[in-house]
C-alpha cells in the first residue's frame, strides 16, 4: 500500500462538501412523508407486505454496510482462526471487504471507520497472509494487520548475489515449478516486462526479496514481479533509464565483492576510479575475480590461473578494460544504491583481508595494495579453509 491522499487511495471518495449538504437540508422532511405514505399503504395491504419489508431491509443494510450503532461491530474477542490475504495494491476498502467476507468483522464500515482514524498505520499495512479470529472487533482486526510482526512470512526468499540460473533453482524448490519453465520464461522479455535496456538478458533484473506469490501463479508471472521490483529500486535510486544497465552491472560487481553495507559505496568508487583512468595504476582494468568466475561459470573466491588468463572470456576484467558486457549477479537494493551514489575517495584498490568478517582495506597506490594483500595471504596461510583453499 502506498502513501498518498488517504481519502482517495485507501477509503474511496471523501465526504461531500458543505454546499451539497445545505442543498439537502429539506430532504429528511420529504423522506419522512414518504415513509408515512408507505406505512399507511402497508397498513392497508396487511401483514404480507410488512413481511416483505422485513426481508428487504436487512438485505439493503448488508449491501450498503450502514453503521452508526453497536450492532455494526462484533463484541469480540472472537474465536476460531481464519487466514486472510492482503494482496499488493489493495485499498482499505478492499481489506474491509475481505475481513467481512471471512467473518472477521461484522461490517465493512466498522473496519473503515477504525482505519480512517489512523491513516498512517493503515497505509503501512503490508501485503501478505495474516491469521485472525472470526468475530473480532474492527479495532482488534486493524491492530493485527497494522503490526508487521503478525505477517506470515512463509514465502519464497531469494537472496542477493545469486546468478539467474541459481535463482531459478531457488524458485523451483519453493514453488514446485520446473527450472526449465523459469528458463523459458526468462527468454520472453515481453511476458516478464523486461525493459529494452536489458537487451534480452534477465541477469541482474531478478530482484532479491521474499515473495508471496499468488497461488497458481506461473513462472512468467513470478519473474515479472521480480523484474518490476528491480525497476522500482532503480527508480527510487534516481537512475535514469539510459543508465540502468550500467548501474546494474556496477551494482552486481559491488554485490559480489562486498560483504558489509558500509563498504559498498567505497567499492563502487574504486571501480569507477578504475573505469575513469586509462593509465596507471590500473589502466582501466576492473580486475574483479568475481566477474572472471561468472564468465567461467564456476563459483570460486579465487579463479584458477587458466581462468585468469582466458582472454576468450568476455567477463575477464583482468584482461579486458571497462565494464563487463552484463551484470554478473542479481544485486540487492543496497548495492544498487551504492552504484548510483558512490562514495568520494581516491582509492584504486581494495581487498577483504578477512574473508569471514568481510573486513576490507583500501589502497591508493600499488604499494598500499600489496601490503594489504600480504595481510590476506598471512590469514589464508593460517586458516586456509576460510579462504576456500
Q: How far is CA 287 from CA 203, 214, 221, 279, in A?
A: 20, 42, 37, 14
Which ranges of the chain would DSSP assign to H, the alpha helix? 6-9, 18-23, 27-45, 47-64, 92-101, 108-116, 119-123, 138-146, 164-175, 179-186, 219-236, 244-257, 264-275, 289-296, 305-308, 333-340, 366-382
pLDDT in single tens digits along all 389 residues of the chain: 433 333 333 333 334 444 333 333 444 444 445 444 444 444 444 444 333 333 333 333 434 444 444 458 999 888 888 988 887 678 899 999 999 999 999 999 999 999 999 988 998 898 878 999 999 999 999 999 999 888 876 678 899 999 999 999 999 998 899 999 999 999 999 999 999 999 999 999 999 988 888 878 999 999 999 999 999 999 999 999 999 999 999 999 999 999 899 999 999 999 999 999 999 999 999 999 999 999 999 988 789 999 999 999 999 999 999 999 999 999 999 999 999 999 999 999 999 999 889 899 999 999 999 999 999 999 999 998 888 77
Determine the pLDDT at residue 80: 87
Contact (Cβ atoms closer than 8 angstroms) between residue 294 and residue 304: no
Determine the pLDDT at residue 71: 58
Residue 32 grid coordinates: 419522512
User: Could you tell me whether strands 360-363 and 128-134 are parallel, antiparallel, or unpaired per DSSP bridges?
Assistant: unpaired
Determine the pLDDT at residue 154: 64
Amino acid at each position: 500500500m502506498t502513501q498518498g491522499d488517504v481519502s482517495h487511495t485507501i477509503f474511496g471518495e471523501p465526504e461531500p462538501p458543505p454546499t451539497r449538504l445545505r442543498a439537502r437540508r429539506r430532504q429528511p422532511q420529504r423522506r419522512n412523508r414518504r415513509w408515512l405514505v408507505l406505512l399507511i399503504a402497508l397498513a392497508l395491504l396487511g401483514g404480507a407486505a410488512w413481511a416483505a419489508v422485513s426481508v428487504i431491509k436487512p438485505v439493503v443494510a448488508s449491501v450498503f454496510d450502514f453503521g452508526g450503532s453497536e450492532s455494526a461491530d462484533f463484541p469480540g474477542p472472537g474465536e476460531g482462526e481464519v487466514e486472510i490475504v492482503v494482496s499488493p495494491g489493495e485499498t482499505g476498502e478492499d481489506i474491509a471487504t475481505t475481513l467481512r467476507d471471512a467473518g472477521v468483522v461484522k461490517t465493512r464500515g466498522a473496519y473503515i471507520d477504525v482505519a480512517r482514524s489512523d491513516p498512517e498505520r493503515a497505509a503501512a499495512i503490508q501485503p501478505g497472509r495474516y491469521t485472525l479470529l472470526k468475530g473480532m472487533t474492527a479495532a482488534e482486526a486493524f491492530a493485527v494487520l497494522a503490526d508487521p510482526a503478525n505477517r506470515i512470512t512463509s514465502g519464497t526468499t531469494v537472496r542477493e548475489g545469486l546468478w539467474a540460473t541459481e535463482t531459478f533453482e531457488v524458485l523451483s524448490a519453493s514453488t514446485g515449478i520446473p527450472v526449465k519453465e523459469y528458463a523459458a520464461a526468462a527468454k520472453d522479455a515481453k511476458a516478464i516486462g523486461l525493459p529494452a535496456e536489458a537487451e534480452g538478458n534477465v541477469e541482474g533484473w531478478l530482484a532479491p526479496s521474499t515473495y508471496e506469490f499468488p497461488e497458481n501463479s506461473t513462472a512468467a508471472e513470478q519473474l515479472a514481479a521480480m523484474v518490476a521490483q528491480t525497476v522500482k529500486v532503480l527508480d527510487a535510486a534516481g537512475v535514469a533509464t539510459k543508465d540502468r544497465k550500467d548501474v546494474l552491472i556496477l551494482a552486481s560487481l559491488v554485490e559480489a565483492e562486498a560483504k558489509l553495507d558500509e563498504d559498498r559505496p567505497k567499492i563502487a568508487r574504486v571501480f569507477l576510479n578504475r573505469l575513469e583512468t586509462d593509465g596507471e595504476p590500473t589502466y582501466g582494468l576492473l580486475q574483479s575475480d568475481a566477474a572472471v568466475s561468472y564468465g567461467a561459470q564456476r563459483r570460486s573466491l579465487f579463479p584458477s590461473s587458466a581462468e585468469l588468463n582466458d582472454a576468450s572470456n568476455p567477463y575477464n576484467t583482468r584482461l579486458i578494460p571497462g565494464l563487463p558486457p552484463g551484470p554478473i549477479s542479481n544485486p540487492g537494493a543496497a548495492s544498487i544504491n551504492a552504484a548510483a551514489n558512490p562514495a568520494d575517495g581516491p582509492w584504486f584498490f581494495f581487498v577483504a583481508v578477512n574473508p569471514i568478517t568481510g573486513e576490507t582495506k583500501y589502497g591508493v597506490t600499488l604499494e598500499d595494495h600489496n601490503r594489504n594483500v600480504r595481510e590476506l595471504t598471512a590469514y589464508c596461510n593460517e586458516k586456509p579453509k576460510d579462504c576456500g583453499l
